[in-house]
Amino acid sequence: MNISVVIPLLNEEESLLELHDWIAKVMQSNQFLYEIIFIDDGSTDKSWSIIQELSQNNASVKGIKFQKNYGKSQALNIGFKKAKGDVIITMDADLQDSPDEIPELYKMIMEDDLDLVSGWKKKRYDSKIRKNLPSKLFNAAARATSGLHLHDFNCGLKAYKNDVVKSVDVYGEMHRYIPVLAKNEGFHKIDEKVVQHQARKYGVTKFGMDRFVNGFLDLISIWFLSRFGKRPMHLFGLLGSIAFFIGFCFVVYLGIDKLFLNPTGRLITDRPQFYIALVTMILGTQLFLAGFLGELLVRSKKDERRYKVSEEVNL
């Protein structure tokens, strides 16, 4: 199979038929062997019944329905596990991503031997205040912390080698950072392509301003995991050792002062240095133990994130 198109969706009944026909037309005109995997992330409209109907008329259409809304990252994660194509294309279901971009994305992966190609919506039709400005700030922060010089981390239109999607674990709100996750797994041949962005034709966006707050928090998590995820003792152990050493120095100072320099002076417990020493030594011990426990967790069996699928078709 040449291409798997993975499409997470939530309440997109108006656009599904048009999107399917558009993708099928592109695939057939380029003679691709393909599959379309729709992941219904707990829709409350007729989206799932439309997916079922499409799968009956086209054997290349496959569907997964979540029992409730888990989020885009979880939808992509299970879609990646099911995908069989040499190249996996992700896109949104709202018709803002153009399927006409698929042949060129496929060519870049296969002929240019890239691991990942990220779309760049250079010209956008979203609200400048609600989406464009926050997106620019978000992308600037992502570039600074990740070292990846991509213009549009949040673009849903991306292409991956099969090995890449089988190697990354997407959870929480990490779908924005799949290129960073791929880089952390050793896939460094990452490029971007300017893609066409279209105005939303049906419905309204399912994302609010809170996604940018969550995005920045996830960015901090990604930075921490990429630097210390496999060696937490290097961070917590270092900080704990420094804090404990500071406290120990105060203890030595207080001991020498009390025993030799000022034996008749006030009690050690009446001096502020005593409480500084106490707090820093306790804090240092706790940080060291946190690093030790982190090391144990890293070396323990990886926890499988689960989501409850209620129905599937053609899988």
Distance CA 19, CA 263 (A): 85
Cα separation of 156 and 58, whole Å?
24
Let me know: does 71 contact 307? Beta carbons within 8 Å.
no
CB 196 within 8 A of CB 105: no
Residues of the chain with pLDDT under 70: 125-134, 203-215, 299-308
182, 167 in Cβ contact below 8 A?
yes
- Treating both helix axes as pointing N-terminal to C-terminal, what angle do 102-110 and 16-29 enclose, rounded to 10 degrees? 50
Which residues is 192 bridged to in the sheet?
A: 118
Beta-ladder partners of 197: 97
Residues 6+ apart with CB under 8 A from 19: 7, 93, 95, 99
* Residue position matching structure tokens 């105005």: 199
Q: Which helix (H) or strand (E) holds 88?
A: strand 87-90
* Amino acid symbol at 190: I
Return the number of other C-beta atoms located less than 10 Å from residue 194's C-beta: 13
pLDDT digits (tens, 9 = 90+) for 5-15: 999 999 999 99
